Each structure stands twice: as structure tokens, then as C-alpha cells.
Amino acid sequence: MTKKNAAMPPLFTIGYEKALPTAVLGELKRAKVKLLIDTRAVAASRRPGFSKRQLAAMLDEAGIGYLHLQKLGTPAEGREAARAGDLKTLWRIYDKHIETSEAQEALGELIALVKSRTRVCLLCYCRDPKSCHRDRIAAKVKKRMRVTVEDLIPPLF
């Protein structure tokens, strides 16, 4: 089977809430992910191992690439709404944000990577993909191309 005729790999997503870096890495390896795309607006974390530099170094050591697509992240006012538990406001803000030219450019970059058949995984904090903006990103990708989405759920610490 040629690469052109090969089945499109799924678009993976993962959240690191309540997980250790080794558990996240284990899920990525199990799924044979080649590139982790960080979809956080701010790639910093109070959780050891999940800030941009630490995460990229761990992934590099495991042979997995790292790309931060910051413009796919939730704007500050959306993150405030999420912390307040106001999901309606969060989604209103995020849905407006994802249509901006900067976010659309980042989305185009993501789609090109998925079309190249690279085994890509979207990363954010939220454990539950349905309560996270990465689910909205995956839905946008699915609207533009035929791809399945597989949510990776790392074991709890």
C-alpha cells in the first residue's frame, strides 16, 4: 500500500490533568504519536514536567516532536470564564477567537500536518476532552477533512 493510499491516522488528543508526565508519554508512545501539538495559549504549568521546555525535552528524548500552536489556545478572558465554571461564556469567547486570522492560520498549519499523515496529538490541560477547547479544534479539522479523532486518557496519578 502506498503512502497516498494508506489509511489516514486518527487525530489524537490528550489532557494532562491528574496525570504524571510519564503517563502522558506512555499514552503517546502507545498511540505511536510522532508530533505533539501544544494548544495552550500559555505553555507554562505549575505541574512539573508540563512547561514548554521540560515537555519538549522529554518528548525529544522519546523521539516525539513538539510544536506550540499558541494561537489555537484559549484567550485570557476565556480562561477566566473556565476557572469560574462559566462554560457558556468560555465557548462563546473561544468560538469567536478560533475564527480570527491568527487562529485560522494556526489551524491551517495543523490541518497540513494531519494531511501529511503525521501521527499528531493535540495537548491541553483538561482531562475530559469534551470540556476542553481541543475538542473544538478537532471538530474544525473534521469539518475540513476526513479524519477520525481519538482521545487518549492517561492513567491518574
Per-residue pLDDT of 16-52, as tens digits, reads 999 999 999 999 999 999 999 999 999 999 999 999 9
Compute the distance between CA of residue 1 and CA of residue 7 in angstroms, rounded to an integer.
9
We report the CATH number of the domain holding residue 71 as 3.40.1010
Burial-class residue 149 by CB neighbours within 10 Å (0-12, 13-18, 19+).
middle
CB distance 17 to 127 below 8 Å: yes
Domain count, the chain: 1
d(CA 31, CA 124): 17
Please state the rounded mean pLDDT for residues 88-94: 97
| Residue 157: pLDDT band with limits 50, 70, 90 | confident
User: Domain of 77?
Assistant: 11-152
The amino acid occupying position 152 is: L
Convert the pLDDT of each residue in 70-84 to its tens digit.
999 999 999 999 999
Give 150's strand partners: 12
pTM greater than the 0.85 cutoff: yes
Is position 4 within any domain? no
